[in-house]
C-alpha cells in the first residue's frame, strides 16, 4: 500500500509530469493500492483554490482507503520520531510530516513524496519510499 503525501498530491493536482505525478496517475488508473490519511486530507483541502476545487479534491481523496489517524497513538509516535530525527542530526521542518510518517510506519505503508524533508524522516523511521519519489 502506498501513502501519497501532500507534496505528491500537489504534483498530481498541478499535472507537473514529474515521476510522482505519473505514479499517482498510474495508481488511480489501475485502482492501485493508494491510501490517504487525515493529516494529508487536511493539508490538501486547505490549499484548494476555490470551493469547487475543494469539493473535487475531497471527492477524489475519499475514493481511497483511509489509514485512520489515531490521536492517542500517532501524536505520541510523531513526537518520538521528531526526537529520533533530532538525535540523528536532522531537525524536521514541521510536525505534520512526522504525523504522516507515524501513520505510514504503523500501517507499514510505503511513502510517495516529492518532499526532501519527509524522505529524511522516512529513512530514519525505516519507512519504505516508493521508487517514483523525488529526492529518494
The answer on pLDDT for 110 being more than 80 is yes
The answer on pLDDT for 135 being more than 80 is no
Mean pLDDT of 111-124: 97
User: What pLDDT is attached to residue 136?
Assistant: 64
pTM for this one? Answer: 0.93
The annotated binding site for Mg(2+) is made up of 5, 97
The annotated binding site is made up of 5, 97
pLDDT, mean over the chain: 96
Q: Which domains does the chain have, with CATH numbers?
A: 2-125 (3.40.50.1010)
CA distance 54 to 86: 35
Residue keyed to cell 487525515: 38
Amino acid at each position: 500500500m502506498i501513502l501519497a503525501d501532500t507534496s505528491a498530491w500537489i504534483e498530481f493536482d498541478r499535472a507537473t509530469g514529474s515521476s510522482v505525478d505519473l505514479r499517482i496517475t498510474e495508481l488511480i488508473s489501475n485502482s492501485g493500492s493508494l491510501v490517504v490519511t487525515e493529516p494529508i486530507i487536511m493539508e490538501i483541502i486547505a490549499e484548494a483554490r476555490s470551493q469547487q476545487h475543494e469539493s473535487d479534491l475531497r471527492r477524489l481523496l475519499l475514493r481511497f482507503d483511509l489509514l485512520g489517524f489515531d490521536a492517542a497513538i500517532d501524536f505520541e509516535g510523531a513526537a518520538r520520531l521528531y526526537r529520533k530525527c533530532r538525535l540523528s542530526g536532522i531537525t524536521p521542518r514541521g510536525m505534520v510530516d512526522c504525523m504522516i510518517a507515524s501513520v505510514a510506519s504503523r500501517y507499514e505503508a510505503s511513502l510517495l513524496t516529492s518532499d526532501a524533508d519527509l524522505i529524511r524522516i522516512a529513512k530514519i523511521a525505516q519507512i519504505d519510499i516508493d521508487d517514483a519519489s523525488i529526492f529518494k
